[in-house]
Amino acid sequence: MNYKFFPLLFVVLLTSFTSLPNKSNSTTITPETTVSSVSKNVSIYNQLDANSFVLPNFDCFNTALEGFYLLKQKGLITKNILTLVDFSLSSNTKRLWVIDLEKNTILFQTLVAHGRNTGEEFANEFSNQAESFKSSIGFYATGEIYNGKHGLSLKLDGLEKGLNDNARERAVVVHGADYVSESFIKQNKRLGRSQGCPAIPVEMNEKIINVIKDKSCLFIYHPSKNQEILAKLAS
């Protein structure tokens, strides 16, 4: 949904975010600072070159951008590439975006699977536990490429304690899967599901992995957990 902002946007957003540290990591962000931050993110959002794709939900984009800046400041990510996964959306929709923040351009938009125990068509249950077969929300740094049972795959490091920091231990990775396809949706009325990995279409796998590898930011969003995501990231 393309949020072209309206007068009440700032009021709504101000009531939905927890405070994040500023660049010195020592001063609490004031409402005025939050307004300035949201205003900046609205401007970036409205200037995004959709590149024939649909823009992501603004709330998802705004949270992702706040986290991106914080993680970049901490040196946990190094690339100006942001990958968004919006698990508030149906798995039958293209709910993964890869955005080049240097060029302000959406590079890819595609299907992405959630874990088999996270839900059917919609994602609604999340876990950081091994063998849960559930997706984990929050911020990740992309790691190294390897070849595994799903072919070319990309390791992920969860950056939020208790939410996704077991990702590497759980082997939650980006990989291609034949159950992530329009044909699977037509046959089964919903996208296929993974064991917790953000699996993507096989034909998109190599292209996306080579762009987002090596310490770029990947963010998995769900509105029901937004406050928890931000609180964990700021701690």
CA atoms within 13 A of residue 189's CA, in its CB half-sphere:
1
Closest CA to 63 of 211, 230, 196, 207: 230
Dist. CA 31–CA 227, nearest whole Å: 16
Distance separating alpha carbons of residues 199 and 184, to the nearest angstrom: 14
Q: At which residue do the structure tokens 């996704």 appear? A: 164
Going by C-alpha positions, the residue among 169, 222, 176 that lies closest to residue 60 is 222
Q: Which domains does the chain have, with CATH numbers?
A: 9-234 (2.40.440.10)
Return per-residue pLDDT of the chain as tens, 235 residues.
Answer: 444 444 344 433 444 433 333 433 433 434 444 566 889 999 999 999 999 999 999 999 999 999 999 999 999 999 999 999 999 999 999 999 999 999 999 999 999 999 999 999 999 999 999 999 999 999 999 999 999 999 999 999 999 999 999 999 999 999 999 999 999 999 999 999 999 999 999 999 999 999 999 999 999 999 998 888 988 887 7
- pLDDT value of position 211: 98
- Give the pairing type, strands 173-177 and 200-201: parallel
Counting other chains too, the contacts that 4-10 makes at CB distance below 8 Å and 24 or more residues apart are: 4/46, 5/42, 5/46, 5/58, 9/38, 9/42, 10/35, 10/38, 10/39
pLDDT of residue 197: 98
